[in-house]
């Protein structure tokens, strides 16, 4: 398998080259040069095989010949060692719980796989690899825990000051060792801009061995196909179309869904469910893409005003609006609607949803109003409600149960360093540390 840039001006590269570089030298994002479609018979076989075996089979065509089969099996089996649970709220609405990993968020799939993949790729390197990651919430903790203690790799996490929940913050600012957290005075988009500027800075890259752990890195996206297939394995066989509602910020989650559809997963439509930062739903309505500064919301992990996977979405749809609209339907929700939906879901189903999952359910309900024909809905539940205890309590009047491993982090002291949103300051930090 070779990887190409969405900007089409960089040479093809290997998986190793794509993962360790992060972004292509022409500023584009790496994509598989081809995506082989699986037969309906093989997809049906996925229903009965062990999940580890399914994940291994899905990723193998994307990883060979760079990763030997025995190494790839080890990476998959170590990274994906927690369950994916399907909860049916009604016969036509299902929630796929992706938060049963170590950091209680769906990012564990991509981060744990990528950390082990990078660890394999940097063996024998003489200089340490610096992994840069901007986070609007859950990416930081998943990446930090995935890479904690991995030899030859240090991680620098940038996050917007006072714009993520305490539970999210404590999960990655209390670790130390090879994990450094930078509390940036600004928005998530400022953090993302600093990371992209660092990759585009040739003199810096000659001195520092840099790569990304954001969803701009193809190594994060490939394993996110796993849980889209996990849903297919658990959903009842149905003759009606499957509509998948994806809470969306940087759009890596939805892009991975399109990858899964390209290998044959029978998804009729994806819903891009966003909060007030609705630049992609707006694009789907108007045909014009207008990035803007991110607004702070209760569903903070989706507070992204310039989604970095948008070029991949366009690439998968040949750059044409009508093809994007054929694949994706968009919906944006306000904070008030999100709180009301969390309460409605609790009252109706006795199910506690975090604000991101509530945005996903809102997207599904809005779609059904416009498309009342028979279909079944699947909403991706991206984070444990306890990570947003204050918002949950505000919505339903009671706080969700706090898992022991999350409670332990809340007691630990924060070790983050303050950082301005100036690129010169960030570059100086990287050069002196």
107 is catalytic: yes
Q: Give Cα 84 to chain centroid, integer Å.
A: 15
| Cα torsion 355, 218, 201, 149: sign | positive
Cα torsion for 423, 426, 427, 428, to the nearest 10°? 120
pLDDT at 394: 97
Whole-model pTM: value is 0.91
Each residue's pLDDT expressed in tens, for the chain with a length of 433 residues:
999 999 999 999 999 999 998 889 998 999 999 999 999 999 999 999 999 999 999 999 999 999 999 999 999 999 999 999 999 999 999 999 999 999 999 999 999 999 999 999 998 788 889 999 998 877 888 899 999 988 889 999 999 999 888 888 999 999 989 999 999 999 988 998 999 899 889 999 999 999 888 788 999 999 999 999 999 999 987 789 999 999 999 999 999 999 999 999 999 999 999 999 999 999 999 999 999 998 999 998 899 999 989 999 999 999 999 999 999 999 999 999 999 999 999 999 999 999 999 999 999 999 999 999 999 999 999 999 999 999 999 999 999 998 888 888 889 999 999 999 999 999 999 998 8
| Cα torsion 312, 210, 176, 159: sign | negative
Identify the active-site residue in 9, 60, 85, 107: 107
Per-residue buried b or exposed e for 168-191, using 16+ beta carbons within 10 Å of the residue's own CB = bbbbbbbbeebbbbbbbebbbbbb
Neighbours of 381 (CB within 10 A): 26
From residue 414, give the alpha-carbon distance in Å to each of 169, 322, 418.
Answer: 8, 47, 11
What CATH topology corresponds to 83-106+221-401? Rossmann fold (3.40.50)
Find out whether the peptide bond into 186 is cis, omega within 30 degrees of 0.
no
- Domain locations in the chain? 83-106+221-401
Beta bridge partners of 209: 129
């Amino acid at each position: 398998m070779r990887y190409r840039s969405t900007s089409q001006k960089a040479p093809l590269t290997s998986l190793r080259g794509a993962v360790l570089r992060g972004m292509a030298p022409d500023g584009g994002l790496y994509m598989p040069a081809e995506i082989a479609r699986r037969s309906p018979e093989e997809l049906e076989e996925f229903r009965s095989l062990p999940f580890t075996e399914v994940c291994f089979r899905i990723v193998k065509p994307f990883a060979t010949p760079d990763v030997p089969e025995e190494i790839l099996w080890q990476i998959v089996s170590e990274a994906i060692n927690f369950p994916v649970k399907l909860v049916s709220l009604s016969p036509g609405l299902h929630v796929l719980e992706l938060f049963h990993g170590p950091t209680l968020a769906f990012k564990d799939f991509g981060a744990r796989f990528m950390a082990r993949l990078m660890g394999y790729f940097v063996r024998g390197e003489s200089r340490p690899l610096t992994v840069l990651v901007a986070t609007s919430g859950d990416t930081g903790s998943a990446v930090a825990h995935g890479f904690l203690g991995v030899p030859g790799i240090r991680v620098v996490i940038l996050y917007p000051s006072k714009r993520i929940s305490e539970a999210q913050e404590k999960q990655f600012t209390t670790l130390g060792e090879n994990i450094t957290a930078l509390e940036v005075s600004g928005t998530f988009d400022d953090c993302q801009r600093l990371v992209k500027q660092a990759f585009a800075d040739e003199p810096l890259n000659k001195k520092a061995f840099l790569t990304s752990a954001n969803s701009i890195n193809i190594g994060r996206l490939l394993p996110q196909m796993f849980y889209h297939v996990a849903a297919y394995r658990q959903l009842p066989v149905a003759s009606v179309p499957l509509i998948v509602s994806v809470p969306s910020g940087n759009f890596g989650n939805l892009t991975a869904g399109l990858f899964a559809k390209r290998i044959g997963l029978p998804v009729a439509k994806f819903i891009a469910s966003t909060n007030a930062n609705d630049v992609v739903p707006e694009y789907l309505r108007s045909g014009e893409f207008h990035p803007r500064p991110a607004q702070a919301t209760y569903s903070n992990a989706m507070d992204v005003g310039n989604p970095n996977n948008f070029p991949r979405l366009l690439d998968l749809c040949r750059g044409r609006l009508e093809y994007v609209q054929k694949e994706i339907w968009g919906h944006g929700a306000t904070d008030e609607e999100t709180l009301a939906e969390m309460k409605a879901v609790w009252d109706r189903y006795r199910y506690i949803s975090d604000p991101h999952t509530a945005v996903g359910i809102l997207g599904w309900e809005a779609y059904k109003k416009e498309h009342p024909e028979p279909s079944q809905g699947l909403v991706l539940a991206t984070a444990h409600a306890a990570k947003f205890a204050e918002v949950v309590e505000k919505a339903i009047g009671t706080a969700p149960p706090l898992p022991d491993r999350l409670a332990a982090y809340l007691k630990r002291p924060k070790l983050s360093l303050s950082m301005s949103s100036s690129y010169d300051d960030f570059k100086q930090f990287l050069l002196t540390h």
